[in-house]
Amino acid sequence: MALLELTQVVATYGPVRALHGIEAQVPEGSIVALLGANGAGKTTTLRAISGMVKATGRIRFDGHDVLNRRPEDVARLGVAHVPEGRGTLAQLTVWENLQMGAYIRRDRNRVKQDLDRVCGYFPWIPQRRRQPAALLSGGEQQMLAIARALMLRPRLLLLDEPSLGLAPILVREIFDLIQAINREEGLTVLVVEQNASLALQLAQRAYVLEVGRVVLEGESEELARNESVRKSYLGY
């Protein structure tokens, strides 16, 4: 059974319907991508999962019905959501951002180990731990956002456009890291990306969204060969 399962998920913002019955599964231990143009409903899908928009249908995570639960309760089930704009706690220090990532945890010793672990992933963090996160560059803020999400020890990581505004080399670095963590620790990842070619390299499976519906799904390699995907999203 999949760790995350979306069935007929419909979401509306006031009079505007953003999702028209999304069907998707994220198997445990996999990386799955949601692709699509602006306004296709990718971000809304993530927000519906973490309870930030009201929706109907069914969303099951790890055996729990999470539809319309409060975001804080979904987080407490082990879902770390790095939202659009990275959710940086800008006035707080880098270190406080990481501590807030582990806010729901009570296992202090393991939290300490995890702080060391993320500092291993991002060696610049210890030197800049006392700086307000607002002073970090966009790339550093993205890394901090991922580090903060990892501090929650999530079962599922939701990433919203991790490549947005970053230099390609940095994107590569971040994606390699996500892949490594997925491989080594079995972390399940659902990533939203506009950059389809990058996303298809990162993920094992992908869903293509158009105006609030899944129009295509499949293994990444298969989708990368698909002619309409190539024309619409890969640009060749």
Partner 1 sequence: MLLAASVIQSFAQQVVSGVAAGAIYASLALALVLIYRAMDVANFAQGEMAMFATFVAYTLITQFHLPYLLAFVLTILLAFAGGVIVERAVVRPFEGAPVLTLVIVTLALFSIVNGLAGLIWGYVFKTFDSPFPARSIQVAGVFVGIQDLGVIAVTLVVLAVVFSFFRYTRLGLAMRAAALYPESSRLLGVRTSRMLALGWGLAAAVGAVSGMMVAPIVFLDPNMMQPVLLFAFAAAVLGGIESPVGSVIGGVIVGVLLALVGTYLPGGQNLRIPFGLIVIVAVLLFRPAGLLGRREMKRV
Nearest residue (CB) to partner 1, 148 versus 205: 148
Binding mask 132-161 for partner 1 (x = CB under 8 A): ----------------x---x---------
In the region spanning residues 9 to 68, those forming contacts with partner 1, defined by CB under 8 A, are 50, 52
Stretch that binds partner 1, among 13-21, 33-41, 84-92, 225-233 (CB under 8 A): 84-92
The DSSP string of 20-57 is EEEEEEE-TT-EEEEEE-TTSSHHHHHHHHTTSS-EEE
Residue 192's identity, in one-letter code, is V
- Quote the strand ranges of 98-212, DSSP E: 156-160, 188-193, 205-210
In the region spanning residues 172 to 231, those forming contacts with partner 1, defined by CB under 8 A, are none
With b for 16 or more beta-carbon neighbours within 10 A and e for fewer, the 39-71 pattern comes to ebbbbbbbbbbbbbbebebebbbbeeebbebee
Asked if residue 109 binds partner 1 (CB under 8 A), the reply is: no
Among residues 158, 149, 148, 145, the alpha carbon closest in space to that of 59 is found at: 158
Stretch that binds partner 1, among 21-29, 33-41, 74-82, 222-230 (CB under 8 A): 74-82
Task: Find the binder of partner 1 among 10, 92, 170, 211 (CB under 8 A).
Answer: 92
Task: Find the binder of partner 1 among 13, 54, 64, 103 (CB under 8 A).
Answer: 103
Nearest residue (CB) to partner 1, 106 versus 236: 106
